[in-house]
Amino acid sequence: MTAPSLEDFLLLSVDLTAFEETDLLGTGMAEGYLEKVRAACGDGIVAALLDAHRAARADAAAENGNQTRTPLEGEAFDRALRHRVFSDDRLGPVARNIIKLWYAGMWYALPPEWIDRYGAHAAVGTSTVTAASYQEGLLWRAIGANPPGAKAPGYGSWARPPRIADRYLKGARR
């Protein structure tokens, strides 16, 4: 079996997190996160997850007519992703964990029933990835704040409202 590629992992991660590839690479954590997922779940499950993601994109593309944009938006892709990935007993918990990994910089232990069924790997428990992963968590950018204790934002900046990119507001009231 060929090792899961970083490119495929990034493509999956863009759809799971709604952050762009440059943002994900910009954390400097992408390789480390892929290693973490492989160590926790094994290459077989990672490869199956990437296959399911590819299939979900193909389903949505067929339904929408050759839509290749990333992240794929719209109902068809949402449905395909839920069908192929999130509702799958084996792949769903892993995909949800990858979202948490990017947002919190932390690998959370998979549910005990998942481990009983699909096998325990050495790195399966809750752990941080590196000292940098906390401050690189996407959640801080998603809420327009700095990680407490890191990436100092400048004196007095806390008196101002958070700055959030338009694309994440989706028309919400400002």
Q: Which residues bind other proteins (CB under 8 A)?
A: 20-23, 25-28, 131-132, 144, 151-157, 160-166, 169, 173-174
- 3 state DSSP class of 173: coil
Tokens 């100092």, located at residue: 152
Phi then psi for residue 128, to 5 deg, are: -80, 160
Count the Cβ atoms, other than its own, within 10 Å of residue 172: 8
CB of 153 to other proteins, least distance (A): 5
User: Is the Cβ of residue 74 or residue 153 nearer to other proteins in the bound state?
Assistant: 153
User: Is the Cβ of residue 65 or residue 154 nearer to other proteins in the bound state?
Assistant: 154
Rounded distance between C-alpha atoms, residue 151 and residue 57, angstroms? 36
Q: Which of 89, 96, 103, 98 is nearest to 140 (CA)?
A: 103
Handedness of CA 9, 15, 16, 17 (dihedral sign): positive
CB of 25 to other proteins, least distance (A): 5
Rounded distance between C-alpha atoms, residue 75 and residue 73, angstroms? 7
User: Is the Cβ of residue 21 or residue 59 nearer to other proteins in the bound state?
Assistant: 21
CB of 82 to other proteins, least distance (A): 26
CB of 14 to other proteins, least distance (A): 10
User: Is the Cβ of residue 74 or residue 162 nearer to other proteins in the bound state?
Assistant: 162
Contact call for residues 45 and 118 (beta carbons, < 8 A): yes
CB of 20 to other proteins, least distance (A): 6
User: Is the Cβ of residue 148 or residue 154 nearer to other proteins in the bound state?
Assistant: 154
